[in-house]
């Protein structure tokens, strides 16, 4: 049964109002139980039944609860008043997974005892940590997802050390932020080079487009200049030279990034292809959620960042229009090869990609689209028992990494497109050809396709990156290593 839009909006409004009320109400459940129980013990049993022990316990409990309210409430109010009108921040350009300093800092509240102030980023999605310098807590962030926004939403939470009271509020800072996808280990890997048509690499499945290194028997209509006279002198058989089946970078490439769940590796692979020049001398790049195409590197990186704002349900929705625009570009779009960067997790995008591939056929009857399934490694999920599935939640799973079961679903669905499919591992920096055969062999053998070491956090050892002062600034001078303190926390 489909929920009416009006009912859905009403539920969202009620949920938003309840969350706002909850964030503004100073008492937690623990604090409410403590104050209620202490008042009951002090009044009912301490005064009415002259129980001095419960009277003392009740008075002390109410005093502790009242102290938590008196500390948290005024501190949160003072902090909100000081941050309610932030000045416009300097534009910054970030990369997913790369820690960077934003320039935001908060004064240390050492003079307020038993109070903790912490904050997180709600938009764009990023992990926050802080370090202390000259009495102020400086903010470090590591973006989790690419995005292109004109404001930053931070949620501040003020709570006491006992967890009895807390106040939370959001502050919006006007600031242009561009978060580009990370290329991972694909920085020097030709992601698309092995898939294009030409004569650089021999490929038994490729077209007859290479150098004339092969030969076959002479047939009517073959040019005389191609006859191998030395072979004829020895064997008395007329043989002619023919081009070998090979592939190499083509002159015209159109590429498209399909969004969906776990699409960060696809965007990173597309960025690596653009930076490495793997798309050829003339290329056009499109992405879901963006109504214009990019033909230059800077425009492509901005487009990839903006595609991160697209809803998962719209994955592949702009592919048909993009192919139509490419076909109308000087009449060369039909002969140009098309490369799709797609996620390795199933979603609504699969049906749209298959439909677009079926509608784009070359003169040979094959699909004119080549598909790159991108992931950060493929893992094999351990089977869970019936009782584990019934009473426990599934373990946390990195959406950028694909499970073999989900990857098999993707490749089986893409088989209907009759298009060559390759697997791109951004974490390992490898491109696997013949993805269908490789995945089927690995699944039958019960092993992982691309085993990787345990995934490290965003704050793995290594030199962090200093955020440039403007979006157009590509310089990234090194900065001190990120702090090891708790995420976005200031304890006074």
Secondary structure in 3-state letters for the chain: CCCCHHHHHHHHHHHHHHHHHHHHCCECHHHHHHHHHHHHHHHHHHHCCCCHHHHHHHHHHHHHHHHHHHHHHHHHHHHHHHHCCCCCCCCEEEECCCCEEEEEEEECCCCCCCEEEEEEEEECCEEEEEEEECCEEEEEEEECCCEEEEEEEEEEEEEECCCCEEEEEEEEEEEEEEEECCCHHHCCCCCCHHHCCCCCEECCCCCECCCCCEEEECCCCCCHHHECHHHHHHHCCCEEEECCEEECCCCEEEEEECCCCCCHHHHHHHHHHHHHCCCCCEEEEEECCCCCCECCHHHHHHHHHHHCCCCHHHCCCCHHHHHHHHHCCCCCCCCCEEEEEEECCCCCHHHHHHHHHHCCECCCCCECEEEEEEECCEECCCCCCHHHHHHCCCCCCCCCCEEHHHHHHHHHHHHHHCCCEEEEECCCCEEECCHHHHHHHHHHHCCCCECCCCCCCCCCCCCCECCCCCCCCCCCCECCCCCCCCCCEEEC
Highest mean pLDDT of the ranges 113-117, 222-226, 404-408, 455-459:
113-117
Give domain status of residue 361, yes or no. Answer: yes
17 burial type by CB count under 10 A (0-12 exposed, 13-18 middle, 19+ buried): exposed
Q: Is the residue at 459 inside a domain?
A: no
| Of 96, 127, 149, 123, residue with least CA distance to 376 | 96
- Residue 464 pLDDT exceeds 50: no
Structure tokens at 70: 């008196």
Q: What is the mean pLDDT of residues 341-359?
A: 90
- Asked if 251 and 390 sit in the same domain, the reply is yes
452 located within any domain: no
CA distance 124 to 111: 32
Same domain, 218 and 284: no
Task: Establish if 430 belongs to a structural domain.
Answer: no
The answer on 143 and 15 residing in a single domain is: yes
Do 70 and 152 belong together in one domain? yes
Say whether both 262 and 149 belong to one domain. Answer: no
pLDDT in tens, 13-24: 676 667 777 777
- What are phi and psi for residue 176, nearest 5 degrees? -80, 120
Give domain status of residue 453, yes or no: no
The burial class, CB within 10 Å (0-12 / 13-18 / 19+), for 265 is: buried
Same domain, 131 and 157: yes
Instruction: Give me the mean pLDDT over the 301-325 stretch.
Output: 91
pLDDT single digits (tens) 111-150: 888 899 999 999 899 999 999 888 899 999 999 999 999 9
> What mean pLDDT do residues 326-336 have?
60
Tokens 């019934």, located at residue: 390
Q: Are residues 239 and 312 in the same domain?
A: no
Residue 480 pLDDT greater than 70, yes or no: no
Domain contains 462: no
Judgement on whether residues 178 and 189 belong to the same structural domain of the protein? no
Pairing of strands 92-95, 166-180: parallel
- Please give the pLDDT value at position 156: 94
Is 470 a domain residue?
Answer: no
Domain count, the chain: 3
Domain that holds residue 320: 184-199+247-425
> Where a domain ends, among 387, 408, 425?
425
Taking all residues of the chain, what is their mean pLDDT, rounded to a whole number? 78
**Are 139 and 162 in a shared domain?**
yes
Q: Which two tokens stand for residue 332?
A: 């060369």
Same domain, 195 and 221: no
* Distance (Å, whole) CA 38 – CA 63: 9
Poorest-confidence range of 42-56, 162-176, 207-221? Answer: 207-221
127 in the same domain as 74: yes
- At residue 479, the pLDDT reads 46
Question: Is 477 a member of any domain?
Answer: no
Residue 223: the pLDDT is 83
Do 318 and 292 fall into the same domain? yes
pTM of the model: 0.72
Average of pLDDT values for 247-268?
82
Rounded to whole angstroms, how far apart are CA atoms 324 and 114? 63
């Amino acid at each position: 049964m489909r929920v009416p839009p009006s009912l859905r909006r009403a539920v969202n409004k009620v949920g938003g109002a309840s969350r706002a009320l909850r964030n503004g109400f100073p008492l937690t459940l623990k604090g409410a139980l403590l104050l209620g129980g202490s008042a009951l013990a002090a009044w009912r049993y301490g005064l009415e039944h002259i129980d001095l022990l419960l009277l003392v316990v009740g008075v002390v409990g109410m005093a502790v609860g009242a102290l938590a309210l008196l500390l948290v409430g005024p501190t949160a109010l003072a902090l909100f008043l000081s941050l309610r009108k932030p000045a416009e921040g300097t534009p910054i350009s970030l990369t997913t997974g790369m820690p960077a300093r934003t320039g935001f800092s908060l004064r240390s509240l050492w003079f307020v005892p038993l109070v903790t102030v912490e904050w997180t980023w709600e938009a764009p999605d990023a992990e926050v940590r802080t370090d202390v310098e000259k009495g102020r807590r400086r903010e470090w962030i590591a973006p989790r997802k690419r995005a292109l926004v004109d404001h930053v939403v931070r949620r501040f939470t003020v709570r006491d050390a006992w967890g009895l009271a807390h106040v939370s509020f959001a502050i919006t800072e006007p600031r242009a932020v561009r978060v580009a996808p990370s290329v991972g280990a694909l920085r020097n890997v030709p992601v698309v080079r092995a898939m294009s048509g030409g004569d650089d690499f021999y490929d038994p499945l490729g077209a007859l487009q290479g150098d004339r290194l092969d030969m076959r028997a002479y047939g009517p209509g073959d040019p005389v200049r191609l006859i191998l006279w030395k072979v004829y002198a020895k064997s008395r058989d007329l043989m002619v030279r023919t081009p070998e089946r090979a592939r190499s970078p083509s002159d015209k490439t159109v590429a498209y990034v399909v969004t969906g769940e776990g699409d960060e590796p696809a965007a990173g692979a597309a960025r690596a292809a653009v930076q490495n020049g793997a798309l050829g001398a003339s290329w056009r790049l499109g992405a879901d959620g963006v109504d214009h195409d990019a033909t230059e590197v800077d425009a492509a990186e901005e487009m990839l960042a903006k595609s991160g704002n697209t809803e998962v349900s719209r994955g592949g929705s702009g592919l048909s229009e993009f192919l139509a625009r490419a076909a109308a570009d000087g009449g060369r779009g039909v002969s140009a090869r098309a490369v799709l960067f797609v996620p390795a997790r199933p979603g609504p995008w699969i049906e749209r990609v298959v439909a677009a591939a079926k509608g784009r056929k070359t003169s040979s009857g094959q699909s004119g689209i080549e598909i790159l399934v991108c992931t950060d490694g493929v893992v094999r999920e351990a089977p869970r028992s019936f009782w584990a599935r019934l009473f426990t939640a599934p373990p946390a799973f990195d959406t950028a990494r694909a499970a073999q079961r989900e990857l098999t679903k993707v490749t089986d669905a893409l088989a209907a497109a009759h298009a060559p499919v390759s697997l791109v591992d951004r974490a390992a920096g490898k491109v696997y050809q013949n993805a269908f055969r490789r995945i089927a062999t690995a699944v039958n053998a019960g092993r992982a396709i691309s085993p990787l070491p345990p995934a490290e956090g965003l704050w793995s050892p290594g030199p962090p990156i200093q955020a440039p002062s403007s979006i157009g600034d590509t310089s990234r001078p090194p900065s001190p290593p990120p702090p090891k303190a708790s995420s976005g926390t200031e304890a006074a």
